Amino acid sequence: MRIELLVVGKTRQDYLAAGIDDYRQRLRPYCPLSVKVVKEKRGRLPDNARLREEGEKLISLMPKGALLVVLDPGGRQLSSEELALDIGRWRDTGKQLVAFVIGGPLGLSAEVRRRADLTISLSRMTFTHEMARLLFLEQLYRAFTILAGSKYHK
pLDDT tens-digit profile of 40-88?
A: 877 778 889 999 999 999 999 999 999 999 999 999 999 999 999 999 9
Q: Please give the single-letter amino acid code of residue 9.
A: G
Backbone angles phi, psi at 70, to 5 degrees: -105, 135
The model's pTM: 0.95
Question: How is the chain split into domains, by residue range?
Answer: 2-153
pLDDT score, position 38: 95
CB 103 within 8 A of CB 95: no
pLDDT in tens, 123-136: 999 999 999 999 99
CA angle 64, 62, 41 (to 5 degrees): 160
Backbone angles phi, psi at 133, to 5 degrees: -60, -50
Assigned CATH topology for domain 2-153 = Alpha/beta knot (3.40.1280)
